[in-house]
Structure 1
Amino acid sequence: MYGDAEPIRMLLSHAGISYEDIYMNYQEFQKIKEKDQRFEFQRTPILELDGQFYAQSYSILRLLGKMYGYYPENSIEAWKVDSVMDQSYDLEKNYLKQFFQTDKEKAQNLKDNYFQNQLPTYCEKIQKRLIKAGNIFIAGEQLTIADFVNVAWAYILPYNIACQHSQEHIEVISKYPDLVAYFDRMTKQVKDHLDKRPLGLGY
């Protein structure tokens, strides 16, 4: 799966930083997560940097963003970035709820609510934020970690052929032209990574 590490990979690729990317399947991780001291919170991804291990995907993104110029120094500008990332995280959680619901009718209701209400609301809010920021990047004229989070989401779900609901996502997103244009611009920013990443992985 591409998972929560995808925006991290995109950032490193965009910054021209060489790195070793280790994929691990679910079964492998379950066997080692409690005993392996590298996984402080028993979750992936983790980042190894100068012999130290760092956990939690958004914390890693902020760390690397500050190191390589993708995270604002100004507190208000940082809030703009963080709030978009938090909203994206909430959307992902809402999408995944259907897969953990064992009752088929309830799972269908969760899916319907996501595509009919939650995803359109997200697209509307993000498009408004984008327009307000000048219609270049999500937080203004500078590329930030929030942009990597957004385009990673786009290439994990809507633009990912392995996603079973890819078309449903695209049908909703297509109603927001400024958002579509934004994803097109961001695709060019992360093209090197997209050209190299494994194909056909799920969320």
Structure 2
Amino acid sequence: MAGKPKLHYFNGRGRMETIRWMLSAAGIEFEEQFIESKADLEKLKKDGFLLFQQVPMVEIDGMKLVQSRAILNYIAEKYNLSGKDIKQRALIDMYSESSWDLGEMIMMLPWKYTDPKEREKETIAVLEKATGRYFSVFEKVLKDHGQDFLVGNQLSRADIQLLEAILATEELKADVLAKFPLLKAFKTRMSNIPNIKKFLQPGSPRKSPPDEKTIAEAMKIFH
């Protein structure tokens, strides 16, 4: 029997967080090998474990996978989170990529904008995109098909990644879903799925938003 997946990354959200979400939603336990210093990262590179010299890296099923989307694609296929046919997969990929784009903008805020005024200005811009470009579309999707899930009326990576993006956006503005009743109901439904509910509890592998200490530690490793 294969061992648990092992995740190699620093002790923070970054581009590993969606992978943590996906495995947890699928009910898969995993181990985390935190990269705590530049020496740890260099050792992984020297040992040939990082195909393109970068993390995240996930050891799973005898492979050492890098590239976040490749890892997510594998997990989604392995645990039946990628739809029943090619058309469902296309929709799931489209929705997942949109949530990824939003999540990426949010993730980069504390890293790219160290000046508080600049960060506040960019946060407003991100929130405008979140509601105008993304949440309005997902609200319409839910309204048009009238189902509990985004695609095929069953849980997929699209649902998981949208919930992650919603919660990350609410950390910037708590009432961001005020004008999106179907998304609010979606958030409640998804958050109460047992595996996801467990992941949202204190003490789970879910990471907190980055603070100044987390950012400083990561900078020492990767720069």
* TM-score of the alignment, normalized to the shorter chain, above 0.5: yes
- CA distance, structure 2, for counterparts of residue 9 and residue 87 of structure 1: 18
State yes or no: 1:46 paired with 2:57.
yes
Provide closer, same or farther for how the CA distance between residues 31 and 202 of structure 1 changes in structure 2, counting only shifts above 3 A.
farther
Of the candidates 148, 151, 159, which is equivalent to residue 147 of structure 1? Answer: 159
- CA distance, structure 2, for counterparts of residue 26 and residue 174 of structure 1: 42
- CA distance, structure 2, for counterparts of residue 13 and residue 104 of structure 1: 34
Deviates more, 1:4-13 or 1:96-105: 96-105
Give the corresponding residue for 2:130: 119
The CA deviation at 1:86 is 1.3
Of the candidates 69, 72, 86, which is equivalent to residue 61 of structure 1? Answer: 72
Identity of aligned residues (%): 25
Give the corresponding residue for 1:87: 98
Partner letter of residue 192 of structure 1?
K
Provide closer, same or farther for how the CA distance between residues 59 and 13 of structure 1 changes in structure 2, counting only shifts above 3 A.
same
Provide closer, same or farther for how the CA distance between residues 32 and 64 of structure 1 changes in structure 2, counting only shifts above 3 A.
same
Structure 2: 5+ residue stretches without partners:
1-11, 211-223
The CA deviation at 1:157 is 4.7
Indicate conservation of the 8 Å contact 1:70/1:144, yes or no.
yes
State yes or no: 1:10 paired with 2:17.
no
Give the corresponding residue for 2:209: 202
Provide closer, same or farther for how the CA distance between residues 28 and 80 of structure 1 changes in structure 2, counting only shifts above 3 A.
farther
- CA distance, structure 1, for counterparts of residue 19 and residue 95 of structure 2: 16
Runs of 4+ in 1 over 6 A off after TM superposition: none
The CA deviation at 1:114 is 1.7
Q: How many residues align?
A: 194
SS of equivalent residue, structure 1 residue 47 = strand
SS of equivalent residue, structure 2 residue 76 = helix
Partner letter of residue 93 of structure 1?
E
The CA deviation at 1:106 is 4.9
- CA distance, structure 2, for counterparts of residue 77 and residue 200 of structure 1: 30
The CA deviation at 1:48 is 0.8
Give the corresponding residue for 1:162: none
Residues 160-189 of structure 1: per-residue CA shift (max 9 Å, x gap): xxxxxx2x4322222211111111111112
Provide closer, same or farther for how the CA distance between residues 83 and 19 of structure 1 changes in structure 2, counting only shifts above 3 A.
same
Q: Give the alignment's Cα RMSD to 1 decimal.
A: 2.8
